Structure 1
Amino acid sequence: MKPADLTEQYARFPEISRAEIQKLVNWIQSQPHMHNLSEEEALHFFHACKNSMEVAKQVLDTNLTVRTHCDEFFANLDCERPELQRAMRTVSICPIPQTTPEGYRVIFAKLADTNPSSYNFVDCMKLYCMIFDMWMYEDGIRPGHVIVMDLKGVSLGHVTRVGIFQMKKFLFYLQEAAALRLIGFHFINIVPFMDKILALMTPFMKKELMNILYVHNNLEDFFKYVPQSILPKDYGGQNQEFGEISETFYKKLKDNRMEMMEFEKRHQVDEKLRPGKPKSASDLFGIQGNFKKLDID
């Protein structure tokens, strides 16, 4: 994996001072419970937090803490593991090569195998996070990112395989710890039981995320946010087909297998060395036993 060119990123965002990023890098290096992160990675957090140093420090610490205590999504990142191989066959994850007119990057996810018995929510979300990490590391900072979930082929059988506590963890990470400026969260090709899907999500969504959540009854409405021209051929766009783009990223993930496993080690904290009180999974996510299963029958 090759990180995005720093000179180009600073030129694209002249309001960001490289001296400020160096201060953040120095702060990271002074934290006994953290591994050293690169200038490129520090830049992601600073930009995601709208150039606020103190917020960037807080979000970065939360990010690494979540990665340490959320084994489901951020541990065992060997793409040769059977569960990740199965996830690659089950879902297609497709970062779009072109940006929107505003400069936003777009990432799609949809089912490749519509058999509910093939679907494991945790493994698919782990794969999603791996692709996102690799993509952003190589792409650099952008004005914003757009997440698109295509529900074509989704059945109630898939929904019953989503754990409510795992959904809480993923949405906590997305809202509190991810180093990105999320501009839009879109659902397309929606299903009759969309209310059941939203019932899994909305208890854990803040107002800020609710405000950028879009459920589209038709693609024409969606194209107002993401131009059809930049989309894969499957959606009437001018890009490669969805599956081809997805396979390109899966191949890159496999080619960088060892680097992703090293990435996992560097993006964790050592709670024994944390100044003050160590943090645990329950500090972040609460107690799993407190959650009742949602009625989605």
Structure 2
Amino acid sequence: MPSWTSSEESPDSRMYTFRCQMDTKHLLLEKREDHLNYVLKQSNKTKEEFREGVDVLKAWLGTQPHLPETPSDEMLECFYVLSKFSVEGAKQKLDMYYSIRSIVPDFYENKNPKLPNMQRIAKVTCTIPLPKLTKDGYRVILTKWLDDDPDNFDPYDFFSQINNVAEVRLQEDLPIGDIVINDLDLFKLGHFIKFTPTCLKKIFVIVEKVYGNRLKGIYYINPPPFMDRLVSLLKPLMKPKLARRLHVFKATDELYDYIPRDILPKDYGGEELSLKQFRGLWKQKFAEYKDRFDALETFKIDEDLRPDRLENDDILGFYGNFKKLNVD
């Protein structure tokens, strides 16, 4: 087991250590079926309708020989929920989930969590999905820079770390919406300038085309002096609806008007495990998914076997010869 208890922590840390050592099963959904029932109720869908949609996706996959695998039932359910119960939308996201690896390989090649570059990025940044959901069923994702030296930071490895977290969520979560908290306490101008327009555009393409861009809020805390420049760079890349959901808080306690304290880590005045403990749990979670991440390294789309295009794939604009994204 990872050792995350340190001498500076209070005796209460023994309670957290005991909880951590139990397992990592409930880092995302403690009771998947109960959450599914909640999602279906919120969407006015029946269990029968849900299963019927997933079965249609399974049948469709049998006609797609270009794909490198048959996804798990959990992945199909997740993509169906991400697509707001649209079968055609789920087809597009599933196809793009595999195709995107060839379209923007700089976010997918050599990004296995076990590799040295990904071990390095895990020491200077972290992305943690918090276990408890909001009253609306949204997942809160906390991202923090742990090192103030930009020389140790690579934006492609950083977003690939987020991708690796998302990979686990595809297997274990049923997201209806995410709220992202970015702690910029150690974020410097040198970090900022590494996010080129090309890099940012590719990130937004992946978020939208693969995961459906179901962001319900983007919150920045401990902002640096150049925060206005950062926001001015990001907002033009966002859809207006999402741009309106971006908020900057100068003090952590301003979060409490938006996020219940019992959801947040104790580092942020909350009632959950510390960020250090969550990092240890997610390191263990990645180790549990070793076979999955090893398999992902081999995935390639076989374009020679691709059948007719999807009904709306002209909207995606990436099929065929996989020309590089023109985002400069």
TM-score if structure 1 supplies the norm length? Answer: 0.86
Q: How does 1:84-163 map to 2 (within 5 A)?
A: 84-138=118-172, 140-163=173-196
Gaps of 5+ in 1: 292-297
Measured after TM superposition, the shift of residue 86 of structure 1 is: 0.7
1:49 counterpart residue number = 83
The letter for the 1-side match of 2:149 is N
Distance 1:64-1:213 versus aligned 2 partners, 3 A rule: farther
For 1:37, what is the secondary structure of its paired residue?
A: coil
The letter for the 1-side match of 2:307 is P
The letter for the 2-side match of 1:272 is D
Residue 304 of structure 2 corresponds to residue 272 of structure 1: yes
1:164 counterpart residue number = 197
1:295 counterpart residue number = none
Q: Name which of structure 1's ranges 165-174 and 26-35 shifts more when overlaid on structure 2.
A: 26-35
Which among 94, 98, 110 is matched to residue 76 of structure 1? 110
Q: How far, CA to CA, are the matches of 2:235 and 2:89 in structure 1?
A: 25
Q: Is the 8 A contact 1:146 1:183 kept in 2?
A: yes
Which among 262, 267, 270 is matched to residue 237 of structure 1? 270
Measured after TM superposition, the shift of residue 176 of structure 1 is: 2.3
Q: Is the 8 A contact 2:185 2:222 kept in 1?
A: yes
For 1:54, what is the secondary structure of its paired residue?
A: helix
Q: Is the 8 A contact 2:103 2:323 kept in 1?
A: no
The letter for the 2-side match of 1:239 is E
Q: How far, CA to CA, are the matches of 1:61 and 1:111 in structure 2?
A: 32
User: What are the Cα deviations for residues 66-88 of structure 1, in whole angstroms up to 9, with x where unaligned?
Assistant: 13322122222322222111101
Q: How far, CA to CA, are the matches of 2:88 and 2:170 in structure 1?
A: 22
Measured after TM superposition, the shift of residue 264 of structure 1 is: 4.6
TM-score if structure 2 supplies the norm length? Answer: 0.78
1:205 counterpart residue number = 238
Gaps of 5+ in 2: 1-23, 310-318
User: What are the Cα deviations for residues 261-294 of structure 1, in whole angstroms up to 9, with x where unaligned?
Assistant: 214545x5322322358534436x32x5xx2xxx
Residue 181 of structure 2 corresponds to residue 181 of structure 1: no
Distance 1:282-1:201 versus aligned 2 partners, 3 A rule: farther
User: What are the Cα deviations for residues 122-165 of structure 1, in whole angstroms up to 9, with x where unaligned?
Assistant: 11111111012213422x21432212111111111111222321
Measured after TM superposition, the shift of residue 213 of structure 1 is: 2.1
Residue 104 of structure 2 corresponds to residue 63 of structure 1: no
Which among 23, 27, 39 is matched to residue 56 of structure 2? 23
Which among 66, 73, 77 is matched to residue 39 of structure 1? 73
Distance 1:50-1:255 versus aligned 2 partners, 3 A rule: closer
Measured after TM superposition, the shift of residue 100 of structure 1 is: 1.5
Structure label with greater radius of gyration:
2
User: What are the Cα deviations for residues 211-259 of structure 1, in whole angstroms up to 9, with x where unaligned?
Assistant: 3222223333322221122211110111111121022102221342232
The letter for the 2-side match of 1:282 is K
Q: Is the 8 A contact 1:229 1:237 kept in 2?
A: yes
2:18 counterpart residue number = none
Q: How far, CA to CA, are the matches of 1:55 and 1:186 in structure 2?
A: 28
Q: How far, CA to CA, are the matches of 2:34 and 2:151 in structure 1?
A: 45
Distance 1:9-1:38 versus aligned 2 partners, 3 A rule: farther
For 1:177, what is the secondary structure of its paired residue?
A: helix
For 2:179, what is the secondary structure of its paired residue?
A: strand
Residue 52 of structure 2 corresponds to residue 11 of structure 1: no
Q: Is the 8 A contact 1:90 1:112 kept in 2?
A: yes
| Number of residue equivalences | 285
Once the two structures are aligned, what percentage of the paired residues are identical? 27
Q: How far, CA to CA, are the matches of 2:210 and 2:132 in structure 1?
A: 26
For 2:62, what is the secondary structure of its paired residue?
A: helix
